[in-house]
Amino acid sequence: MMLGFLLARAGVDVVVLEKHADFFRDFRGDTIHPSTLELMHELGLLDEFLKLPHQKVEEFSAQVGEEHVHMVDLRHLPTHCKYIALMPQWDFLNFLAAHGKRYRTFDLRMDAEATDLIEEGGRVVGLRTKTPDGEMSIRADLVVGADGRHSTVRERAGFTSEDFGAPMDVLWFRLSRKQSDEAETFGHIEAGLMMIMLNRGDYWQCAYVIPKGGIDRVRAAGLDVFRKSVVKMSPYLADRVAELKSWDDVKLLTVAVDRLKQWWRPGLICIGDAAHAMSPIGGVGVNLAVQDAVAAANRLAAPLKAGTASNEDLQAIQARRTLPVHFTQRFQLIMQNPAVSAHHAEPDHQPRALRHAKAEAAAAVQDVRDVSVAAPHSRAFPGGGHTARARAYAGYAVRALERPAAAAWS
């Protein structure tokens, strides 16, 4: 949607396909990071965007065993919005769609599912789609697969990916929030347990981590056992955990962390989760997808208008975005693997696994703090006083923030 909006704004004819009749999908990526908010500012849309209902997250803490760890403080960032905005993704997408429709070059088609590619002479030249009115073919100079981690476009293109492993899945659910509750977005890690709670105003959006493929075992133990596990992590939820009346109130997110070896073929490129599925750690997925879209629009707007878009343009987009994606995924794996390993540890080994999780969390936090100091100063890796890992993250932090190229916009 973001790429379609940006290209239409630049005068490129765009057709955006949405598989469903609306954007209402509960528990989609709801975390709008400062980088995305900065983009909205640079597009002149921030004030209007922030009129949509949202909550602000300026800090994030976690309890690891008995230790309270201050993980993130965004209030020092050199951006207009020094916080994460928690906003339903359907509001974000509806906002972009409404602004896209202001341009005659923007054609959004709802309830239109891409089912196959049209190829001629080794080049992708369009898509076949399924709509309520029957099957339809759409021809295009460039097809962009932005259809998520279960991408049909990616599968039909025959792309291969590297799977980096995700030892966890996530159970999402809502519980009501009282004014007397803590206000801060919060995480809790114990030996064998991990839960994140996002403050959504009048309710908590909760993410309960389970071992990969463990949903059948959780359900077999019964909903009452699950409720007790939730209360163990956050005792003040005891008076409302009964709001989970059935397993229909608990949604499973199957976690994957992977990256395509090559994101493009002649006439086709994948971006976002279709190119690189992200862990939910940090809530970065939608924001990396937005950054991909900006990089793609900056590179493609002029050649698409001129009819000269080339393989070199597609390769350049992948080359620009690979480093940020690589280091973000690496950071997610550093954060998630030690913590989730406690799920698999034998009881006698769980305290050691928990200590390892605490040590890794502390190291990751220090890396983030190093980056926050180093990144603003130079596009080159800073010298002296930082670990190699922090230097790499610093380079990522600077390069990851894509800005719309003013020259591309009409």
- Of the candidates 267, 275, 271, which has an alpha carbon nearest to the alpha carbon of residue 304? 267
pLDDT of residue 331: 83
Q: Which residues contact 21 (CB under 8 A, 6 or more apart)?
A: 110, 111
Confidence band for 119, pLDDT divided at 50, 70 and 90: very high
> What sign results for the dihedral spanned by CA atoms 16, 96, 41, 322?
negative
Q: Is the pLDDT of residue 410 over 60?
A: no
> What sign results for the dihedral spanned by CA atoms 196, 291, 330, 157?
positive
Q: Are 371 and 397 in contact (CB under 8 A)?
A: yes
Q: Are 148 and 238 in contact (CB under 8 A)?
A: no
Q: Is the pLDDT of residue 10 over 70?
A: yes
Q: Is the pLDDT of residue 377 over 50?
A: no
| Rounded Cα gap, residues 32 and 92, in angstroms | 9
CB atoms within 10 A of CB 203: 15
Confidence band for 356, pLDDT divided at 50, 70 and 90: low
In this prediction, residues 249-271 reach a mean pLDDT of: 96
Amino acid at position 394, single letter: A
Q: Is the pLDDT of residue 188 over 90?
A: no
pLDDT of residue 395: 40
| Rounded Cα gap, residues 35 and 364, in angstroms | 20
- Of the candidates 226, 193, 222, 6, which has an alpha carbon nearest to the alpha carbon of residue 103? 6
In this prediction, residues 227-252 reach a mean pLDDT of: 95
pLDDT in tens, 268-299: 999 999 999 998 888 899 999 999 999 999 99
Bigger pLDDT: 388 vs 291: 291
In this prediction, residues 23-47 reach a mean pLDDT of: 88
Task: Tokens for 387, please give them.
Answer: 């670990």
Task: Tokens for 284, please give them.
Answer: 């970065």
Confidence band for 404, pLDDT divided at 50, 70 and 90: confident
Confidence band for 375, pLDDT divided at 50, 70 and 90: very low
Surface-to-core class of residue 217, CB atoms within 10 Å of its CB (0-12 exposed, 13-18 middle, 19+ buried)? exposed
Q: Is the pLDDT of residue 391 over 60?
A: no
| Rounded Cα gap, residues 91 and 20, in angstroms | 15
pLDDT of residue 2: 97
| Rounded Cα gap, residues 198 and 315, in angstroms | 38
Q: Is the pLDDT of residue 68 over 90?
A: no
- Give the rounded distance of the alpha carbon of 124 from its chain centre: 27
Task: Tokens for 218, please give them.
Answer: 């959780």
Task: Tokens for 107, please give them.
Answer: 């054609």
Q: Is the pLDDT of residue 175 over 50?
A: yes
| Rounded Cα gap, residues 289 and 271, in angstroms | 7
- Of the candidates 183, 180, 255, 173, which has an alpha carbon nearest to the alpha carbon of residue 212? 255
| Rounded Cα gap, residues 90 and 294, in angstroms | 20
pLDDT in tens, 313-344: 999 999 999 999 998 998 888 776 655 555 44
Surface-to-core class of residue 369, CB atoms within 10 Å of its CB (0-12 exposed, 13-18 middle, 19+ buried)? middle
Q: Give the global pTM.
A: 0.84
Q: Which residues contact 214 (CB under 8 A, 6 or more apart)?
A: 169, 343
